[in-house]
A and B are shown apart, each in its own frame.
Chain A
Amino acid sequence: MRIAVDAEACVGSGLCALATPEVFDQDDTDGSVVLLAAEPPPEFFDAVRDAIESCPVKAISMAGHQE
């Protein structure tokens, strides 16, 4: 699984970073998303899918993934 974030679109809700701090963090100045792991290990796949589904501005996306 390879993920990408759009920090411009992000509104800093922090949903992703609270649920999965191993993969997502937030910038201290404007709260925008910071991707810590673009290719997270499989144990985070479900959490990343949840983050993709819950992000209020669809700023997280998945490019090609292997089950």
Chain B
Amino acid sequence: MTMSTEPPALPTRRMNPWDPPAELAGFRAREPIRRLRYPDGHVGWLVTSHSLARSVLADPRFSARSELKRAPVARPGVDLFFGVPALPGWLVDMDAPEHTRIRRQLAGRFTAHRMRELKPQIEQLVEDHLAAMARSKPPIDLVEAFALPVPSLTICELLGVPYGERADFQRNSATLFRLEASVDDAAKAMEHLNGLLRGLVEHKRGRPSDDLLSMLVTDGTLSTEEIAGVGVLLLTAGHETTANSLSLGTFALLSHPDQLARLKADPSLVDNTVEELLRYLTIFHFGVPRTPVVDVEIAGQRLRAGESVTVSLPAANRDPEHFDEPDRLDLSRRTTGHLAFGYGIHQCIGQNLARIEMRIALQALFRRFPDLALAVPPTEVPVSTDMGIYGVHRLPVTW
């Protein structure tokens, strides 16, 4: 078969801060799996429907190995991770059974009951930051005052990383997520983070305490390199994502006053509010990469082994076949089956931590500051389309 027209690149231009690029809806309606041109000229595939997204992500013929991965948007720094073997401990870039071995080591530390036990600690953190906010003079940047420090402190505590290191690791972690970062920038950021974590692992060998890194050290199953790698992955994935969900989620609520009024009137809506914000905003805006390791036939298309596949989580989460009126933010809708945390064996290991942090943070924020409002026109909020994870760079608020 010959292609009469060149396949499109992944659409990335948003018409507003909330909706994924409009072209995705057209693709999903006409060709839920279709050809996609990658920045390096490769022609692979784009998956946009909820049902196909789930089939691909659940199918072991689609590999998550980094050797085979390709970024759907220009991102020079990604050469550090893609096209090369997985970094030690980076389970997100591995298939079973290597993936299983590391996942099992970690999952016991992220169980629902452990995450529930963290509640009082997170509540205290949230209260402290809101109290400090209340003492300052508005307008302030909610990202810096609240949305970033709360998840950063939480993941530091959980891992056993001294919070004094935060300025460094926040900056280096942001470099890894920046699309423009060169391989060199990314390599330096990575080396710094690895160095920090390796040092901590060595330190904890001598005097282990109750944190996750100590537990991995004492257990002895993973090597020092693997533990340091897991540490970098959890540290970077664990604060940037939740911080962006919180700040972008707050921006969305402030911009949908009818919905925010419902939450204020009935705080028990918060659990579903978090799910709906996760679905509606889907901050993994470029989706997740997979590669078939054998030829696969799916929905009438024949994918050859090695052709890159991008599973668009934002498109899948707006699929009208799965969600009624998907483009509407509705805090009481049925959100079951949303794909903001992915699907299949790699589904986010930190999802319940993120959920609990977001529930506590959003509820407390609007209880303490019922008159919270944007301090700039919505069009002046800098959204982070220049990052691997979608969100806002700053959220100026007043009260």
Contact of B112 among A11, A21, A32 (CB under 8 A): A21
CA–CA, A32 and B111, complex, Å: 9
Query: Which B residue's beta carbon lies closest to that of A50?
Result: B336
Given contacts A54-B336, A56-B342, contact A12 B113 (CB under 8 A): no
Known: A53-B336, A56-B58. A17 touches B113 (CB 8 A): yes
Q: From A20, which residue of chain B is reached at the shortest CB distance?
A: B112
A18 contacts across to B, CB distance below 8 A: 112, 115-116, 352, 355
Tell me which residues across on chain B come within 8 A of A21, comparing CB atoms: 112-113, 116
B103, A11: Cβ atoms closer than 8 Å: yes
With the chains together, A52 CA to B208 CA distance in Å? 39
Which chain B residue lies CB-closest to A27?
A: B108
A37 touches B (CB below 8 Å):
no
* Residue A57, interface by CB 8 Å: yes
User: With A31-B104, A53-B337, A58-B58 known to touch, is A12 a contact of B110 (CB < 8 Å)?
Assistant: yes
Contact with A along B106-144 (1 / 0, CB 8 A): 111111111110000000000000000000000000000
**CB pair A56 B345 closer than 8 Å:** yes
Closest CB in chain A relative to B347 CB, distance in Å: 4
**A14 CB contacts on chain B under 8 angstroms:** 107, 110-112, 115, 351-352
Tell me the nearest residue of chain A to B54, going by C-beta.
A56
Query: For residue A15, which residues in chain B have a CB less than 8 angstroms away from its CB?
Result: 351-352
The residue in chain A whose Cβ has the minimal distance to the Cβ of B356 is A18
Question: How many B residues, CB 8 Å from partner?
Answer: 29
Asked if B343 is at the interface (CB within 8 A of a chain A CB), the reply is: yes
Any A CB within 8 A of the CB of B237:
no
Instruction: Known A12-B104, A14-B352, A18-B355; judge A31-B110 contact (CB<8 A).
Output: yes
Asked if B8 is at the interface (CB within 8 A of a chain A CB), the reply is no
Number of residues of chain A lying within 8 A (CB) of chain B:
22
- Complex: A19 Cα to B16 Cα, angstroms: 33
A11/B345 in contact, CB under 8 A:
yes
Q: What residue in chain B is nearest A30 (Cβ atoms)?
A: B104
Answer whether A25 and B113 are a contact pair too, CB < 8 Å, given A12-B104, A18-B355: yes
Q: Is A66 an interface residue (CB 8 A)?
A: no
Does A12 contact B351, Cβ atoms closer than 8 Å?
no
Q: Does B305 interact with chain A (Cβ within 8 Å)?
A: no
Question: Is B376 part of the contact surface with A, judged by Cβ < 8 Å?
Answer: no
Docked Cα-Cα span, A13 to B351, in Å, equals 7
22 contacts across the A-B interface (CB closer than 8 A): A11-B103, A11-B345, A11-B347, A12-B108, A13-B348, A17-B112, A18-B115, A18-B116, A21-B112, A21-B113, A26-B108, A28-B108, A30-B104, A31-B104, A31-B106, A31-B107, A31-B108, A32-B104, A32-B107, A50-B336, A53-B337, A56-B344
Residues on A facing B (Cβ under 8 Å): 11-15, 17-18, 21, 25-32, 50, 53-54, 56-58
In the A-B complex, list the 7 residue pairs whose CB atoms are closest, starting with the nearest.
A31-B107, A12-B107, A17-B112, A56-B347, A26-B111, A18-B112, A30-B104
